[in-house]
Each structure stands twice: as C-alpha cells, then as structure tokens.
Amino acid sequence: MDYISTRGAAPALNFEQVTLAGLAGDGGLYVPANFPSFSRADIAAMAGLSYVEVAVRVMQPFVGDALDEAELRDLCEQAYGRFAHAAVTPLVQLDGRQWLLELFHGPTLAFKDVALQLLGLLFEKFLARQDKHLTVVGATSGDTGSAAIDALAGRDKVDIFMLHPHGRISDVQRRQMTTVRTPNVHNIAIEGSFDDAQAMVKRMFADREVTDRFSISAVNSINWARLMAQVVYYFYAASQLGGPHRKISFSVPTGNFGDVFAGYVAERMGLPIERLIVATNVNDILHRALSAGDYSTGTVTPTAAPSMDIQVSSNFERLLFDLEGRDGGKTAARMAAFEQSRNMQLDSSMRDQASALFTSHRVDPDDMALAMRWAQDRAGQVIDPHSAIGLSAAQNADLDPAVPVVTLATAHPAKFPDAVERATGIRPALPRRVGDLFDRDEKYTKLPGEYDAVKQFITANATPSDG
C-alpha cells in the first residue's frame, strides 16, 4: 500500500515510512492511495472473532508487506493484551437502540490507548530494522501525552519529550505522565498555556538545527497508523450488532476529527454505516462546517470535555481532500488560503457529498449533564463528559429510529471525576489497576515558556538519529 499527501507535492511512502513520518514534506497529511475494499462475505466472516483477529484482518491491507500476518498478529496480541477487558472494546446496551462502545479499558483510561499501544510497538519494530533512533516531541493538554508515554516507555531506540502546561492539567492526567520513570521518558512542564507548548513543538519541527541532528516525530493523530488502528473497532462493533446485514450509526465525540475519520474509512472499505454523527461541544467549528459550510476559527472556550476543546481539526483536511475529488493541488490551495484567513467555506457540492454520511450535532453543557444523568438513571452506566456529548448527540440528532446507534465512549469516567460528580452526584473511583497513581513519585522538569530553554533541554538529552 502506498500513502500519498493531501497536498499532492510530497513523495509517496510505504507503510513503514508513513508510520515513522509526521506531516508530509508539503505540509499535507498522508492518506492511503486507495481504500482497500471488503465484501459483505468478508465482513460477515468477522462475526464472533476476537478483537485481535478482527484487527489483523482490517489492518493487513494497510500494512501491506511491511509486516507479515504472524508479525502483525503478534503486535496486536501484545498491544491489546494490556487492556483490562477480555473484549478489548466491549459493547454495552443502554436501551432498545442505543449502545456504548467502551474504548477506555487501556492503561491510561482513554481511547487513545487503542491506537498508541500499537503505534509504540510499530515504532520499535521499524526502528530496529532501520537502525535509527527516533525522538518523539509532543505537547499535550492531557490524554494524548499519557497514552503516548505509556506506549513508548522503555522501548528501544526512541525517546519521548512531552510538554504540558504547568498547573493546567488535572492531577490524574499529570500523574499518569510524571510517574512513568523509565529513562527514555522526559516530561517538561512549561510556564504557559497548551497553545504556547504546541507552538514551541511546531517551531521545533521546522528548526533545521534540531532536524539535521535528530530524527523527530509526532504521535498526534496526524499519524496515519493511529487512524488505521481505530478503523478496527467500527468493524468489530458493527459485526456484533448484525452488520453487514443491517446498517449501524455511530456517534463520535469529536475534537481533531481523527476518530470519526476512522469511521469514514471503515465505510469506504465497505462497512454498511447509516450515519456518522460528529458530536461537538460548544467549540463547534466542525458542526458549523458540516451543517452550514462555515469552517472558520474562533477562540476556544474551556469545557468539562477538554479533549474536544479545539479551534482547528487537523484531520478534517483528510476529508476535504476526498471532497475535492482527491485533487492535491486544490486541497493545497484551499489550506493555504485557510492558513491566511482562518476561514474556509465549503461549496454546495462538498456539503452534499459530506452530508450523505455525516450528521453533526453541537451539545451544550446542560445537555451533556442531562445525558450523564440519563445513562446513570436509565441504564446504570456512569459515563464521562466526552462520552456524554456523544450520547446526547445520538439521542437528539435527526436519525432513523430503526437503526441502532453506537456511541463511542472515549474516556473512563474516573478521568474526569469532578465533572461526573457535578452532573450525577457520583464520584467515580479509579480502577484498581491504576489505583496507586497517587502514591508513586513524580518526575518532571519545569522550564520557562521560552523556545530556547526547551530546545536546549531537548537537544542536550535526546539521542541523534544515527546514535
């Protein structure tokens, strides 16, 4: 399988290369040159298979000859063996047509583990082959940092430097990062906001003094392998609910458009999906784009669902590329204009194509709290604020009542105990497997919010690419 850039001017890569790459050289994102296609019989044959077996079948065409089937199965067994539930991503029924797909049984209690546990193993495998050292640099407002650190801790030939805004993430989120004590993990608390941290990371990716010596890479959802790993659970859930013989809808709490884009890929591969509901909180750029064609940025409002508090959804470019007929030149021009004006209008043909599959819904804080209480009172399920936004959208969007709706439950409620307690009166306990989080020692380096201080720290502690 070849991967091409959404902006049409970077070389095509194979799976091994695209896994280790970040942004394409032309500023675009890599996507598969074509979508593999599964017949109804292929999908019907997934019924009753384990998560790992479904994962191998769904991912093999994307992986191509970078891994043979036995190698891919071995990595999936290692990655998903670390999940605390035998089904990896179990389905829970809420009422006659509403279901939850629990994606939070991994080590750091958010769905990002599903992709990052596998990505850590892919990095290690490919770096050993290439005899290369990788330096992962990222900024986090919470969930990505802890999932990436857990996935990369102790792995050969890779260091991870994760920046977080000092004092501005929750205690659980900070401790999930700073109590990991392997020498290849470097936590940096910077004075400043998440946006300041993110801006420093972006600058470092463009700093030749750094990139000439170090092979730096990203683990945010612009990484193709992450999206690929998320396609699996759409197939897994649908086949348990009667797919491909009936259609299923999915409601996806959305920030960077990575998770819901994986659902789109599943549909393109042949999975019968009725609707993909893009659920947003009040930071609703995607809802405005899909319902009114208006993709323009404003300022971020902090909410109880912080992983969806975004201004720009990087993976939306992957959908735009398809809506432009996969024309890289047109996508590049569109993105260049957007980067200037922070405003983009989708024309009616693009909107019509998108609305054939996508529905969007914006959920305000009252409706989010209502959904948490409904899940608790009607189904005995304590759900987190992000999942509640998905559930509220599933209940309130205009949908065919005969079609089952699966809401993706993206975080464990104990990750956001204050918001859950405010809405339901119940304070969810941390699962036993992470229960000693508050007894472990923390280690992190505090730095001023200045690029040169961060650069100096990273270049002094990272290993050069040929080292």
Ligand X SMILES: *Cc1c(COP(=O)(O)O)cnc(C)c1O
Binding site for ligand X (CB under 6 A): 110, 112, 143, 221, 253-259, 307-308, 386, 410-411
Comparing CB distances to ligand X, the nearer of 144 and 395 is 144
What is the closest distance, in whole angstroms, from the C-beta atom of residue 183 to ligand X in the complex?
Answer: 27
Comparing CB distances to ligand X, the nearer of 328 and 413 is 413
Chain Cα centroid distance, residue 296: 22
| Residue tagged active-site, from 112, 125, 157, 247 | 112
Comparing CB distances to ligand X, the nearer of 57 and 386 is 386
Spatial distance between the Cα atoms of 193 and 186, rounded to a whole number of angstroms: 19
Give strand pairing partners of 4: 31
What is the closest distance, in whole angstroms, from the C-beta atom of residue 220 to ligand X in the complex?
Answer: 9
Spatial distance between the Cα atoms of 124 and 135, rounded to a whole number of angstroms: 12
**Please, which residues have CB within 8 angstroms of residue 60's CB and are 6 or more apart in sequence?**
69, 72
Comparing CB distances to ligand X, the nearer of 59 and 229 is 229
Spatial distance between the Cα atoms of 467 and 463, rounded to a whole number of angstroms: 6
Comparing CB distances to ligand X, the nearer of 285 and 308 is 308
Residue 54: both structure tokens together: 């479904």
What is the closest distance, in whole angstroms, from the C-beta atom of residue 101 to ligand X in the complex?
Answer: 13
What is the closest distance, in whole angstroms, from the C-beta atom of residue 386 to ligand X in the complex?
Answer: 4
Whole-number Cα distances in Å, 21 to 350, 394, 399: 29, 35, 39
End-to-end CA distance of the chain: 30
Contact 254, 33 (CB under 8 A): no
Residue 293: both structure tokens together: 């064609």
Comparing CB distances to ligand X, the nearer of 127 and 276 is 276
What is the closest distance, in whole angstroms, from the C-beta atom of residue 413 to ligand X in the complex?
Answer: 11
3-state secondary structure of 388: helix
Contact 277, 251 (CB under 8 A): yes
What is the closest distance, in whole angstroms, from the C-beta atom of residue 11 to ligand X in the complex?
Answer: 27
What is the closest distance, in whole angstroms, from the C-beta atom of residue 388 to ligand X in the complex?
Answer: 11
E strand or H helix that includes residue 406: strand 405-409
The Cα angle at residue 144 between residues 142 and 148, in degrees rounded to 5: 125
Spatial distance between the Cα atoms of 297 and 295, rounded to a whole number of angstroms: 7
Comparing CB distances to ligand X, the nearer of 187 and 283 is 283
Spatial distance between the Cα atoms of 328 and 5, rounded to a whole number of angstroms: 7
> What are all long-range contacts of 202-205, with beta carbons under 8 Å and residues at least 24 apart?
203/451, 204/137, 204/451, 204/454, 204/455, 204/458, 205/22, 205/23, 205/137
Our answer to whether residue 455 is catalytic in this structure is: no
Spatial distance between the Cα atoms of 128 and 377, rounded to a whole number of angstroms: 51
Q: Mind telling me the catalytic residues?
A: 112
